[in-house]
Amino acid sequence: MKILLFGKTGQVAKELCNRPNVTAIGRDKADFTKPQKIIEIVKSTDADIIINAVAYTSVDLAEEEFELANIINGTTVKELAKVSASRNIPFLHISTDYVFKGDGNLSWKTSDQTNPQNSYGKSKLIGESGILEAGGPHVILRTSWVFSSHGNNFVKTMLRLASNNNELSIVKDQIGGPTCAKDIADALWKIASDFYAGNGITGIYHFSGKPNASWANFASEIFSQTHQDIKIKQILTKDFLTKAKRPLNSRLDCSSLRIDYGIKQPEWKKSLTNVLANLK
């Protein structure tokens, strides 16, 4: 199985780069602001599977740079999906819970109506729509709250802030499933392997860690596992102003991924233990 991976430096991309028969292409050779270059790469590839781990992920900055976010997360993804479909190469793509409105307290199902509330979510939904329009074999894997031992993420931010503070204010009314980048990479690998074996099922799937938690819960577990006595002041989203609106409900129903691919939700606390060990 030969995999063409777009992305080298992102959290999930790094987890995929070291796997066998993966050709990873970084920004120097695959600039997602230039769709034609991406098309040319796919036209000449001999890969069996294409995985896209490239994304514009600066949620707040996307409010000011929507055109750029739209090109990277939307337009180029659409063109990538079209050329992949023309060659009948399965295309695996990472998306986000931000495509939903983010209200209520039920886990979002893959069939639920999308209604993104910020520019980042809108740009990701444009990419999803482009993949569906392309009509080729594909999997869109929506995930949430990604963390790892590399890149920028909540775990590393908490550890950095804790080094200079004894008390931190953390949001308590946003609920979701923290998801380790390695677990996402493992899920993508299983899906790719099934496609290579002729057993891949095209569709949109959800994947996140369990159990669901608040950001305050997540922070508490980080400090517990690192044996730090940090006081957490639990605050509401309305008291923590950001340029982009954040969803209060990021819960994802991952049942269809388990049914179709046998992939179970990972326990994020166990994954966190491994990430913290790597950070040491």
User: For 68-122, what is each residue's pLDDT tens digit?
Assistant: 999 999 999 999 999 999 999 999 999 999 999 999 999 999 999 999 999 999 9
Residue 194: beta bridge partners?
none
Query: Which residues form the catalytic set?
Result: 120
| pLDDT tens readout for residues 195-250 | 999 999 999 999 999 999 999 999 999 999 999 999 999 999 999 999 999 999 99
Inter-axis angle of helices 268-279 and 181-196, to 10 degrees? 110
Q: Which amino acid is at 36?
A: Q
The answer to whether 239 touches 257, Cβ cutoff 8 Å, is no
Report the DSSP beta bridge partners of residue 233: 169
**Which pLDDT score is estimated for 221?**
98
3 burial via Cβ count (<10 Å: 0-12, 13-18, 19+):
buried
pTM here?
0.98
The distance of Cα 195 from the centroid of its chain, to the nearest Å, equals 20
Q: Which residues have a Cβ under 8 Å from the Cβ of 111 and sit 6 or more positions away? A: none
What is the DSSP code (8-state) at residue 170? E
